[in-house]
Structure 1
Amino acid sequence: MTRNWTAALCVGVSCLFAQEARADESGISFWLPGLYGSFAAVPAQPGWSFATVYIHPSVSAGASEAFTRGGGGQVDLGIKGRGNLLAFGPTYTFEQPLWNGQFAVSLLGVAGRSHACVDATLTGPLGGSVSGERCDSRTAFGDLLPQATLKWNDGVDNYLAYITGDIPVGAYDSDRLANLGIGHGAIDGGVGYTYLDVSTGREFSIVGGLTYNFENPDTDYQNGVDAHIDWGASQFLNEHLYVGVAGYAYQQITGDSGAGASLGDFKSRVFGVGPQVGYNFDVNDKTSGFLNLKGYYEFGAKNRPEGWNVWLSLAFAPRAPKKVE
């Protein structure tokens, strides 16, 4: 009955980020809130695993909301965006312990289509405006996202430490509205905790982290330090199926800087919450599959578009050995 629970959802998936009309410069952050969720700190089976995550975000900001873009002092008003994004890549979990924990490394890529519109753009030192809606769409590959994690288990308590970053090789043009890359490097690190009681099928996870952003060389703009918390809670209905709720909180704690930061420190925040459902299954004697669907409704945004987003995750990993009765 409990054989699959301790493996369940490494589909919280190591890392994934993509540019949609989201805070910081252009209202876009490196960390995509909602990335982590249930079972985030639970150790996995050693060996290779592979994850694919589809994300559909839809966000907007009012016509009076301003966001900087490009290196020429452009300011966009009334941003709207949506995307069909796919993150994919392998993770290798080592069998040999590191600092008494389970060590894993991963590398994800991003691809998809991003669509963005603005109501008006202010340009130049005199604030000249171009009225009317302008839209842009782009289908391309995004940045590369390496990550390393350490996980520890002590009964029902599970602990996580991670570090990840952005290698800015994706499609990015500072003058375009829609991009799949963010145009600058970033480093993010944090810790997490999962409570998992296999006797009751109850689980709760929380992960917090900080992002340091490097300057965007195309726009002379440097995002401030971002803080984020992702959480999830679930209840197994049987050996394979669980339901629950997930959420996130995102807050920029230091201001933006650089010659391109024409709107000042531009600190941003957003919150999200929504339902989730997951299903674990055996593919064969050596492989297990993990499927998760979750959605978030956003609220409380500042200097950041808000809306809703849906995640569909599918991962394949080494199957946990059967217990001998």
Structure 2
Amino acid sequence: MKRRFKEAFGRQSINRTTAIALVISAWLPGAASADEGGVSYWLPGRFGSLAATPQVPGWSMAAVYYQTNVSAFGTAAAAREIHVGRIPANLNVDLNLRLNAQADLMLLNPTYTFATPVLGGQLAIGVTGLFGRSSADLAGTLTAAVGPLAVTRTGSFGDSITSVGDLYPQATLKWNAGVHNFMTYVTGDIPVGAYSSTRLANLGIGHGAVDAGGGYTYFNPQAGHEFSAVAGFTYNFKNTDTQYQNGVDFHVDWGASQFLSKQIFVGVVGYAYQQITDDSGQHPVLGGFRSRVLGVGPQVGFLFPVGDMQGYVNLKGYGEFAAENRPAGWNTWLTFSISPMAPSSTVTSTRRITK
């Protein structure tokens, strides 16, 4: 029994090189939408396939092109107008509004994975920065009343910004036991990006946040089967510009893939996002404004050598549904990463994955 365990552990360790590029970019953040004015810290889809699989020690770098297009109606759209101060808190409102928002972002994520074990696991520390363009348009009819007086306004206004976003540090600890892999993580938001409480479009969120959780990956390199799931909670600090504080968020990201060869895999990805406590400081028309959304879509990946490093390209996309109190639509991620490759003497002993 011990011998079989050691052999399985060794095969799994050898195949970490195959998994590493997936892991590097699995958690990267970007422009999100929920909570205050339709914007939250957590971006569903940050984790994906092989998220809990340990990596080869050393420096790695991932670059992600992220694109999203979302829309919202009624209260969810009005939240953005309330957020920029166009609806005073003492007004009663009847809303017939539509919000459209788009973002094209580039994310850069340097990460260092330590060779020395910490608590029996593998420690990695990284930070993600982003830059790009975000735009939003709001149109429709708003009726506001103070006592017997009522005013109806029909029209539209838009906003866009090209700049840099917040910084997102993250630390992970990962453990391996044959085909089973476990992880815990902590991450957060350092609010240094372009943000103004009076703008309709921003690349920062205007407040700090802390997020922590854990995950599991099943990876059988001989059969090429893989499944991962990562869950976590987000605590949001108060936005001092607006005196608004988002509630606590719960989220689950998952991915399943099949390796067709040692270099190519296909699969599906998905996420579930649910706010579990009310926002505070919101306009009365919004109530608790708890946000929810589900997403699912396909993915494909390709691994290849880059000199003595491991290169990786991945394309994945999500279609969103069952949204509540947040814009919903679609988003795509195109990832290129480069990372250390396992020693050639180790790699050459790896059994090739075929199907």
Task: Compute the TM-score of the two structures, normalised by the length of structure 1.
Answer: 0.93
**Larger Rg, first or second structure (1 or 2):** 2
Letter in 2 for 1:316: I
CA distance in 1, matches of 2:137, 2:151: 19
CA distance in 2, matches of 1:133, 1:253: 32
Matched, 1:34 2:45: yes
Matched, 1:113 2:126: no
1:241 corresponds, among 264, 270, 281, to 264
CA distance in 1, matches of 2:331, 2:61: 23
Matched, 1:278 2:301: yes
Superposed CA deviations along residues 60-79 of structure 1, whole A, max 9, x for unmatched, are 01256431313564598311
Match of 2:122 in 1: 102
Q: Is contact 1:7–1:320 with CA below 8 Å preserved after alignment? A: no
Q: 1:314 offset after TM fit, Å?
A: 1.0
Secondary structure of 1:26's aligned partner: helix
CA distance in 2, matches of 1:102, 1:179: 36
> Structure 2 vs 1, CA of residues 64 and 227 (structure 1 numbering), >3 Å: closer, same or farther?
closer
Q: 1:316 offset after TM fit, Å?
A: 0.7
> Structure 2 vs 1, CA of residues 163 and 203 (structure 1 numbering), >3 Å: closer, same or farther?
same
Letter in 1 for 2:240: P
> Structure 2 vs 1, CA of residues 167 and 125 (structure 1 numbering), >3 Å: closer, same or farther?
farther
Q: Is contact 1:72–1:124 with CA below 8 Å preserved after alignment? A: no
Q: Is contact 1:10–1:315 with CA below 8 Å preserved after alignment? A: no
Superposed CA deviations along residues 144-188 of structure 1, whole A, max 9, x for unmatched, are 111110000000000110000100010001111110000110000
CA distance in 2, matches of 1:26, 1:259: 9
Q: 1:14 offset after TM fit, Å?
A: 3.7
Q: 1:264 offset after TM fit, Å?
A: 2.1
Match of 2:25 in 1: 12
Q: Is contact 1:189–1:211 with CA below 8 Å preserved after alignment? A: yes
CA distance in 1, matches of 2:284, 2:86: 11
Q: CA RMSD in A?
A: 2.1
Secondary structure of 1:243's aligned partner: strand
Give the unaligned 5+ runs of structure 2. Answer: 1-10, 350-355
Superposed CA deviations along residues 252-310 of structure 1, whole A, max 9, x for unmatched, are 0000002667622100100000000001111012x111111000000000001111111
Letter in 2 for 1:42: T
Q: Is contact 2:278–2:290 with CA below 8 Å preserved after alignment? A: yes
Task: Compute the TM-score of the two structures, normalised by the length of structure 2.
Answer: 0.85
Letter in 2 for 1:44: Q
Q: Is contact 1:90–1:106 with CA below 8 Å preserved after alignment? A: yes
CA distance in 1, matches of 2:295, 2:114: 34
Alignment map for 1:222-233 (pairs within 5 Å): 222-233=245-256
Judge which range, 266-275 or 312-321, deviates more.
312-321
Q: Is contact 1:142–1:169 with CA below 8 Å preserved after alignment? A: yes
Q: Is contact 2:28–2:109 with CA below 8 Å preserved after alignment? A: no
Secondary structure of 2:37's aligned partner: helix
Query: Which has a greater percent of helix?
Result: 2
Match of 1:166 in 2: 189
Q: 1:7 offset after TM fit, Å?
A: 2.8
CA distance in 2, matches of 1:106, 1:11: 9
1:221 corresponds, among 244, 254, 259, to 244
- Identity among equivalent positions (%) equals 54
Judge which range, 121-130 or 191-200, deviates more.
121-130
Match of 2:6 in 1: none
Matched, 1:79 2:106: no
Match of 1:54 in 2: 65
Match of 2:4 in 1: none
